Amino acid sequence: MKKFAIPQDLTKALHFIGGSRLNLLSPHKFMVMEPRNGSHLTECCSAERSQVEEAVLISRKAQKFWAAMPWLERGHILRRAAELIRSHVNEISLWEVRDNGKPIREAKADVLSCAETFEYFSGVDLSGQHIPYSDQDSRFAYTRREPLGVVGAVGAWNYPIQTATWKIAPAIACGNAIVYKPSPLAPISAVILAQLLQCAGVPNGIVNIVQGEAITGTAICESTGINKVSFTGSSSTGKKIVETCAKIHVKPVTLELGGKSSCIIFEDADMEMAVNGAMMANFFSQGQVCSNASKILVHSSIFDEFTKKVAESTAQLVIGDPLNEATHVGASISNEHMKKVKGYIDGAIKQGAKLIYGGEPVSVEGLESGFYLSPCILSGVTRGMTVYHEEIFGSVMLIIPFESDEEALKMANDTEFGLAAGVFTNDLSRAHSFAAMLEAGTVYINTFNDVSPLVPFGGFKQSGFGRENGRSAIEAYSQIKSVFVNTSKRLENAFQVISAGEL
Ligand code: NAD
């Protein structure tokens, strides 16, 4: 295996096209901040349409060779990538923290999960099916699973390397090339990943990174050389993606969008597990998690005890430099985003919610310009309040009481979104009947926010369509061709003339 070293020059030439780091120039420049200290990390130009088209052209040429490579050989390369990720977890995580602001312990878990994802997709089964549709052995059909060609992908900033991996790994495992656009707020780890994949043996032109804001994403969606688009981001941008993808020529789209999830804590739940679960459902990655259950619905008989315990546990969380291993709560992605989350908290209090804990900007010694906000717990939240309906995308837990199972279910499903939901109970039959009734792509029973490359992930309702991970991802990044076969050496004339007597 070629030796891989984390590139030293990660604040310039952030486009990666045809196997080379490029410093593309365009009039559309964007700045990248380092959330932990609020400093200027780098700046980059958004790739324009012609530059995206150049990347697509290079991908199209390379894809033919990659698709023709035996699966097992592609699988070897993906496994080598997993090995390289594992052996560089610390250095990759460091950049993920600088780029995104999340605590290093979470960044390491994210990076390791990327190794698992490449491993899982290294063993994909791309077989078709034999279909004996006729009563004659000489007539049958079979299906071939074929790549789509070039995949265009657009990602969000909250799980930068994981989002890139969830798209790149299945796309290339299926024999496609990919043109990936990271979020302009966290553009760096995708470049590291692309260079690492090159080192693992992925041919030049198969994985391309184009940087940019909406203008670059639009160019990807409009490109006639791109055969599929996979998008992770907000529901409002998701709508534009679908529209743009259909404007010039239609292409299939996977949409991983926002959420407004609930987690129901029943009266028979184990209290310690429920408290841990509610925190896992709200406080990873400064609350910037699409599947977060900001609505924690708690049976009224245990409401006071739960509220007290979850507030005590939240008060234990260490807020500080995300590069410190002891830190639980790092920095929000940007000052603007932190203010938006704070605005939701202040707005809820103005509308009558009660502040139980946190929700204040925090000054971290030596990092005074970083974007730190303490995790927040609110109670007294009602259906009329904005926070009850909108995705906050920050560490804001809303604790809402309920009296009956019906009321809990109604509140959990009372949203246009459907990404995730959870229940904490010791009643097996209640757990599984709720799993069936909750309108969400993922349901957690006595846990929350677990992900695995083996398990499909995606949304119901306005949280999107299509799935990442698991067998579903293979279906999303390949297409089925049906082949009808006749080996009998004869074919009846379907148009033979029938005499009047035979009619
Ligand atoms: P966003 O919608 O603002 O941006 C997402 C990406 O789309 C970025 O790369 C952005 O540059 C690009 N973009 C913006 N406008 C575009 C356009 N008109 N055409 C093409 N591309 C365009 O979202 P964000 O703020 O980066 O991410 C936060 C959102 O993502 C939240 O709503 C969160 O729930 C969601 N999210 C969903 C999942 C999931 O798996 N369902 C995972 C992570 C984040």
DSSP one-letter string for 152-175: EEE--SSSHHHHHHHHHHHHHHTT
Mutate to test the pocket of ligand 1, among 110, 209, 234, 286 (most ligand atoms within 8 A of CB): 234
Over the chain, what is the mean pLDDT? Answer: 97
Domains, the chain, ordered by start:
15-27+42-257+463-484 (3.40.605.10), 262-445 (3.40.309.10)
Binding site membership of 218 for ligand 1 (Cβ less than 6 Å): yes
Residue 60 CA to its chain's centroid (Å): 25
Report pLDDT digits (tens) over 365-389: 999 999 999 999 999 999 999 999 9
Binding site membership of 183 for ligand 1 (Cβ less than 6 Å): yes
Rg of the chain over all Cα atoms, to the nearest angstrom: 25
Binding site membership of 96 for ligand 1 (Cβ less than 6 Å): no
pLDDT at position 501? 79
Phi then psi for 423, rounded to 5 degrees? -135, 145
Distance CA 178, CA 73 (A): 18
Distance CA 62, CA 278 (A): 47
- The residue contributing the CA closest to ligand 1 atom 41 is 256
Instruction: For residue 183, give the ligand 1 atom closest to its CA.
Output: 9
- The residue contributing the CA closest to ligand 1 atom 5 is 233
Task: Determine if residue 131 is left, alpha or beta; phi over 0 gives left, psi from -120 to 50 gives alpha, anything else beta.
Answer: beta
Distance CA 264, CA 274 (A): 9
Closest by alpha carbon to 448, among 421, 426, 419, 429?
421
The mean pLDDT of 165-187, rounded to a whole number, is 98
User: For residue 203, how far is its CA from the centre of ligand 1 (angstroms)?
Assistant: 29
Helices (H), 248-302: 271-280
Binding site membership of 257 for ligand 1 (Cβ less than 6 Å): yes
User: For residue 214, how far is its CA from the centre of ligand 1 (angstroms)?
Assistant: 10
Statement: residue 136 has pLDDT above 80 = yes
pLDDT higher at 248 or 466 = 466
Virtual CA dihedral for 215, 217, 218, 222, nearest 10 degrees? 140
**Percentage of residues in the chain with pLDDT exceeding 70?**
100
pLDDT band at 196 (very low <50, low <70, confident <90, very high): very high
Binding site membership of 158 for ligand 1 (Cβ less than 6 Å): yes
**Percentage of residues in the chain with pLDDT exceeding 90?**
97
Q: Please name the residues in contact with 143: beta carbons below 8 A apart, sequence gap of 6 or more.
A: 128, 129, 131, 480, 481, 482, 483
The mean pLDDT of 62-91, rounded to a whole number, is 97
The two tokens of residue 146 are 């074929």
User: For residue 396, how far is its CA from the centre of ligand 1 (angstroms)?
Assistant: 20
Distance CA 81, CA 87 (A): 10
Binding site membership of 290 for ligand 1 (Cβ less than 6 Å): yes
Binding site membership of 234 for ligand 1 (Cβ less than 6 Å): yes
pLDDT at position 3? 83
pLDDT at position 1? 67
Statement: residue 364 has pLDDT above 70 = yes
Binding site membership of 82 for ligand 1 (Cβ less than 6 Å): no
pLDDT at position 498? 82
Phi then psi for 359, rounded to 5 degrees? 80, 20
Cα angle, residue 420 at apex, residues 414 and 425 outer, rounded to 5°: 90
Statement: residue 249 has pLDDT above 90 = no
Statement: residue 309 has pLDDT above 80 = yes
Report pLDDT digits (tens) over 433-456: 999 999 999 999 999 999 999 999
- DSSP for 456-472 reads -B--EETTEES-BSHHH
Binding site membership of 11 for ligand 1 (Cβ less than 6 Å): no
User: For residue 219, how far is its CA from the centre of ligand 1 (angstroms)?
Assistant: 16
User: For residue 21, how far is its CA from the centre of ligand 1 (angstroms)?
Assistant: 24
Judge contact between 92 and 4, C-beta under 8 A: no
Strand partners, 16: 21, 209
- The residue contributing the CA closest to ligand 1 atom 14 is 214
- The residue contributing the CA closest to ligand 1 atom 23 is 233
Distance CA 227, CA 249 (A): 10
Cα–Cα distances in angstroms (integers) from residue 153 to residues 100, 183, 189, 190, 439, in the given order: 20, 11, 15, 12, 27
Instruction: For residue 459, give the ligand 1 atom closest to its CA.
Output: 41
Helix (H, G, I), strand (E, B) or coil at 488: coil
User: For residue 363, how far is its CA from the centre of ligand 1 (angstroms)?
Assistant: 28
Statement: residue 252 has pLDDT above 70 = yes
Active site residues per annotation = 256, 290
User: For residue 251, how far is its CA from the centre of ligand 1 (angstroms)?
Assistant: 19
Amino acid letter for position 461 = K
